[in-house]
Structure 1
């Protein structure tokens, strides 16, 4: 996300004090003012044009009438002598203030806002970030190249001082306000993670934190971070660290020759563009969240803008008729990508070329000396207003969208989001007027690079101080509350009558028990031990994870727990049964991988889950070899399936039949556990409880809505019975009287939106043991 351009300041005789946002005024030959050459174009001047200075010719000597020889003229003084070996810097005319670029910022930020507000026609509005990336590469590179032609060098201190006073004050204010708002209103279950987000925002690595979080299956249903928008700023800051240093290296390589720097810089941009684009395409196909947030898959977009900055003199020669066509095509490409793309579009990858190329065409059109109607449109008042506040608006709109509904206890809706977006515009204008502009233009801060850098450091330290204050001095959850649950101390329900009694009492619970296990803040870490042991494998694995044996390892009776995470959630109960019966238990579970013989679609990888098919085949081969006494299977009733698969209940039944036929041929017993209830909204149940701690009943699940209604549940049960498997119906262990409580006694039933907690699973051990067939 780049910062908006400020209006061009009045002409000043103080050439070295050019405002950064104006960026470029025409450079001149070193050492003197140069008259414009024929055909060249310079920035307009309020002063009358004067003829170029010419060195006066020496005075004409009178004719020699006295018969004396004429004396030669005295030699010219040193300043008058021509210095044939002194290098003359080539002039480089920059962009100056560009209203069209300011207007293009408005288009970018409005696309982002429309998308985040929930307008369906702008579902692809996230491409506005790509527009910002190209503009950032163009403007920053223009500034650096201009500095080289003016001074023969790049001042790293000056560059970072300007960036610090331009970016950090507003960013730090938003960070501090968001930390405070999250502490006040965000679910306590997510508060620690949000504070970690804030810290990574301050050190500009939050994009890679989101890479790690987005690839975590267990984080899929968590409330989005109020710092989500900062990922693009982190990418740009990482670019700002590398790009000036690379240009300095290239400048030294060409022995400080500005013209040669431009040539080698063009080659460098082309190489970076090509390599990063290829990586973007490949990584998008394999792990789309990584490609979306990572710098190495986005840097080609900034390189595209940098390339345009380096060929600026050529762009100025673009014919007027061509500028018209490029402007229309460019704006159409940017808007079309925002309208035609949606969450299902593989992005960035090759699809990001449309908004990137569109932005490049708009820059080229606006650079032409002939003008064009699109650039004129972008220069109008409304576009200039939103372009001017675009940086603050981009920063403020997201935490307002996330935090305010929590503060006023309102359900997010399109109508509410529109109101919040209007409020965000007002807040952004105030931020621009009273934070961005005063600090950026402060005379004391601009007086030296040191004060600019000090300003940046001070802003960062203030942000870090706020994070530490809210997490240490005003911690909401004592550290001892995060101790793992002692499963051996869990009281098991003796029979169905007792579990029904607990469920009925759970429906009457209104406040969170003080001794809740797991605690709300510990729910996200409450996973069966097979996760810690790496026996529950992740998305990339295709082989069983070694032996991964539990309970009685010397037993001659082996049982296997197989399926996705909905099978893994039963591990605390299954291992208890295995220990009591002296069985050897093998854990064979994999995230999002249904045991049914069908190809899923992985929402984290955003592609067909071929690794699941390979893993399932390998586990079935293992079962054929070891011939266990029992295989216990479980999985989601309606996982996301590949588009190539039949989505009907009949196809689902066939997929289960295929798997069970192989298992029943090799194992002594095949058992299927029906799926457990889940939040119909997909929201985390502990998060719901944390924002309704005195109204827990608000989070109770409706039985009909919490269970699968696609027909898959009944189809899989029928298929299992037909295949000779033993079916254990579990719904009565979770729901009663048409409702499913979320707390029973002092036990949290669910650790997220659709997985049961380890203590609740352990409490069902006796019931599960009684329901399993005898061996």
Structure 2
């Protein structure tokens, strides 16, 4: 019988797994690939997979610490564990959050200050990945349009796993203690009975000299987490690639994979050392292939993420093989039996030096690059490397004067309760700072009110550009070289800095009802008295087609009537968009527009389209396959009902949605436009096009016009086509480019309206 107490010394707190030099070197390679990928070094397009390596290593270290504590003391001491994590992660993270606010004031335009404040708030709560996922914000390439803190999505994923997994492990430990053999039948020496709750709480109670076995139950738990999360990642990446990249549920399988390795440590240690060396080289090769071949616009983190994750797992497992097992199944890097081969490379002093500051280096590099690009525009790689040099300097200072004192200074003598109380104050301060930062943008700038205008007849306002836009694609857009992304073009119309004002006339003619109004507000273009009326109904995605339709209406002498409402699809379905009043207004607007379309002045043709929305059922938003099916069902009901009411209906296939704001990206990268391209498959999957096609599969009387081939013709969506900027943000066409689509749209309408051949 022995008395155990929580470790106090720096050595005990670190744990043997933390002392492995190969893991420190692996972290150095991971952060190095991230940094080189961030500055556009062409040979490392997959540098972003460094995050996957970090997550696997994090899961291994977290689980090794939990398992080591259990083997030493017979309990999982959550207070000690979380206090240790607070001391290791929060001080440096809080410093970077605080620094991001003056960076935002100094380098970002005023209209982005509020978003920066909300990002600080979400980052302080370790929930920024969910905020970015809801906004479809890219977090791979730091450019002028990115959030200053977008990289903290990965920190949030790791923090959320570090919260959930120890709690789950503690539950498994409590279950194991409850099922322990009774005295007299146990292989352990008789001891004073240990209450189940004592397995979770810090205490100095007398404990068995040999702790109860916990590895098996934890292996089952970690395996279930890994398999469930990976299955969800594969499915969700195929349906919602933008969000799947950022949410925690698609990433938990990676730290869970590291957890499995920690739990298998004792078994792995007994394998032949030559096998460990072979496994290490294979793992390093897999990570290297991922870094050198994967692209930022790849569908991720689906099956492709297995390459870097399994590579990192192989390196960790190979480094465990051949070591003499201690309490955690591994031994320190200073052991005499240290493996050779790749582990000598990873344990080299330069890599260990970089790995020691990898966490603060990761925290600093992104906000510095984003702020620099936002302040000074596009920079050559040499300048970016200079910025990274500044990040390295800040990382070293942060490690020396923030991280080390927090781990080994006065805080080393604090009790876990004291550390946790202070640790609670740091995120709270970040939340408060994010809220107070909103005062810097209050009151908001008031845009000039649009001129009051009744529905008017008008010709399209965008002047014909000097460059051809979609006309440059010729008759075969999908094979045209004009649709392939290039780094530079001679000129860009409109100027990317002014793209947000390159709007259809419906914006300046006040053609949208107020947010909480369900009025079927309309505007009329073309020939007001023409007998042939074309109606356009939908949200702002539908409004993007107005410039092309105006041109066609003028040429053909048609009457064009618009029924448009932002954030409201012209569908008979409740979608998640704002509060209850806004949803009620959308439903009322749909009913009023349908009544107008089916009334005495029904149009000869109805055109409709919309963005992708989240349907609701039972007052809750749907996700995944249920959401897709609900949206498809709503489209079928709405369109078949209109056709039955003798309203000829044609669906414009939804505009592809890009991974990032195109205009902002182009403004920041005029000499590297390919950085602003999005994989076509990803852009199409992010929009409502797939649901539209599925709905039309059983509606032969509803027409379809698909011009996505003239919007995103190549395998990657080019930001500029024919000298014209395609998008004004990440999902709305510029009025100028939409105007150049008029000939293609006119041809599609002619084919639909042509009388059937006799």
TM-score normalized by structure 2? Answer: 0.63
Q: Secondary structure at the match of 2:607?
A: strand
Q: Secondary structure at the match of 1:122?
A: coil
Q: In the alignment, which of 173, 190, 194 is matched to residue 112 of structure 2?
A: 190
Q: Deviation at 1:144?
A: 0.9
1: distance between equivalents of 2:689 and 2:38?
28
Q: Could you tell me which residue of structure 1 aligns to residue 431 of structure 2? A: 464
2: distance between equivalents of 1:377 and 1:454?
41
Q: In the alignment, which of 239, 259, 264 is matched to residue 286 of structure 1?
A: 239
Q: Could you tell me which residue of structure 1 aligns to residue 368 of structure 2? A: 400
Q: Could you tell me which residue of structure 2 aligns to residue 639 of structure 1? A: 711
Q: Could you tell me which residue of structure 1 aligns to residue 419 of structure 2? A: 452
Aligned CA distance change for structure 1 residues 536 and 419 (closer, same or farther; 3 Å): farther
List aligned pairs for 1:228-377, cutoff 5 A. 228-255=150-177, 258-367=211-320, 368-369=322-323, 370=337, 371-377=339-345
Given the alignment of the two structures, is residue 430 of structure 1 paired with residue 510 of structure 2, yes or no?
Answer: no
Aligned CA distance change for structure 1 residues 120 and 539 (closer, same or farther; 3 Å): farther
Q: Secondary structure at the match of 1:123?
A: coil
Consecutive unaligned residues of structure 2, counting only runs of 5 or more, are 178-198, 200-209, 324-336, 465-492, 516-538, 544-563, 577-585, 614-645, 658-679
Aligned CA distance change for structure 1 residues 185 and 215 (closer, same or farther; 3 Å): closer
Given the alignment of the two structures, is residue 420 of structure 1 paired with residue 387 of structure 2, yes or no?
Answer: yes
2: distance between equivalents of 1:274 and 1:284?
15
Q: Is the 8 A contact 2:123 2:152 kept in 1?
A: yes
Q: Could you tell me which residue of structure 2 aligns to residue 621 of structure 1? A: 701
Q: Deviation at 1:199?
A: 1.0
1: distance between equivalents of 2:566 and 2:303?
36
Given the alignment of the two structures, is residue 379 of structure 1 paired with residue 347 of structure 2, yes or no?
Answer: yes
Q: Is the 8 A contact 1:563 1:634 kept in 2?
A: no
Q: Deviation at 1:241?
A: 1.4
Q: Deviation at 1:312?
A: 1.3
Given the alignment of the two structures, is residue 610 of structure 1 paired with residue 532 of structure 2, yes or no?
Answer: no
List aligned pairs for 1:705-716, cutoff 5 A. 714=743
Q: Is the 8 A contact 2:494 2:724 kept in 1?
A: no
Q: Could you tell me which residue of structure 1 aligns to residue 196 of structure 2? A: none
Q: Is the 8 A contact 2:149 2:367 kept in 1?
A: yes
Aligned CA distance change for structure 1 residues 192 and 172 (closer, same or farther; 3 Å): same
Aligned CA distance change for structure 1 residues 164 and 683 (closer, same or farther; 3 Å): farther
Q: Is the 8 A contact 1:109 1:394 kept in 2?
A: yes
Q: Could you tell me which residue of structure 2 aligns to residue 75 of structure 1? A: none
Q: Deviation at 1:261?
A: 1.0
1: distance between equivalents of 2:356 and 2:648?
64
| Structure of higher CA gyration radius | 1
Q: Is the 8 A contact 1:446 1:452 kept in 2?
A: no
- The aligned length equals 550
List aligned pairs for 1:552-567, cutoff 5 A. 552=596, 555-559=599-603, 560-564=605-609
Q: Is the 8 A contact 2:46 2:291 kept in 1?
A: yes
Q: Deviation at 1:363?
A: 1.1
List aligned pairs for 1:696-707, cutoff 5 A. none
Q: Could you tell me which residue of structure 1 aligns to residue 65 of structure 2? A: 143
- The one-character-per-residue Cα deviations of 1:620-678 (angstroms, maximum 9, x if unpaired) are 6257xxxxxxx9x89667233697x9x9xxxxxxxxxxxxxxxxxxxxxxxxxxx9999
2: distance between equivalents of 1:236 and 1:467?
22
Given the alignment of the two structures, is residue 119 of structure 1 paired with residue 163 of structure 2, yes or no?
Answer: no
Aligned CA distance change for structure 1 residues 377 and 469 (closer, same or farther; 3 Å): same
Q: Is the 8 A contact 1:592 1:602 kept in 2?
A: no
Aligned CA distance change for structure 1 residues 640 and 495 (closer, same or farther; 3 Å): closer
2: distance between equivalents of 1:161 and 1:534?
49
Q: Secondary structure at the match of 1:562?
A: strand
Consecutive unaligned residues of structure 1, counting only runs of 5 or more, are 1-13, 25-93, 569-582, 595-599, 624-630, 648-674, 688-700, 727-775
List aligned pairs for 1:749-764, cutoff 5 A. none
Q: Is the 8 A contact 1:172 1:463 kept in 2?
A: yes
Q: Could you tell me which residue of structure 2 aligns to residue 680 of structure 1? A: 725
Q: Deviation at 1:382?
A: 1.6
Q: Could you tell me which residue of structure 2 aligns to residue 71 of structure 1? A: none
Q: Secondary structure at the match of 1:549?
A: helix
2: distance between equivalents of 1:459 and 1:680?
44
2: distance between equivalents of 1:301 and 1:401?
27
Aligned CA distance change for structure 1 residues 303 and 333 (closer, same or farther; 3 Å): same
Q: Deviation at 1:681?
A: 7.8
- The one-character-per-residue Cα deviations of 1:106-163 (angstroms, maximum 9, x if unpaired) are 0111111111111222111111111111111111111111111212222222222111
Q: Could you tell me which residue of structure 2 aligns to residue 441 of structure 1? A: 408
2: distance between equivalents of 1:229 and 1:498?
41
Q: Deviation at 1:719?
A: 5.6
2: distance between equivalents of 1:536 and 1:677?
35
Q: Could you tell me which residue of structure 2 aligns to residue 489 of structure 1? A: 452
2: distance between equivalents of 1:418 and 1:305?
32
Q: Could you tell me which residue of structure 2 aligns to residue 54 of structure 1? A: none
Q: Deviation at 1:194?
A: 2.6
Given the alignment of the two structures, is residue 478 of structure 1 paired with residue 478 of structure 2, yes or no?
Answer: no
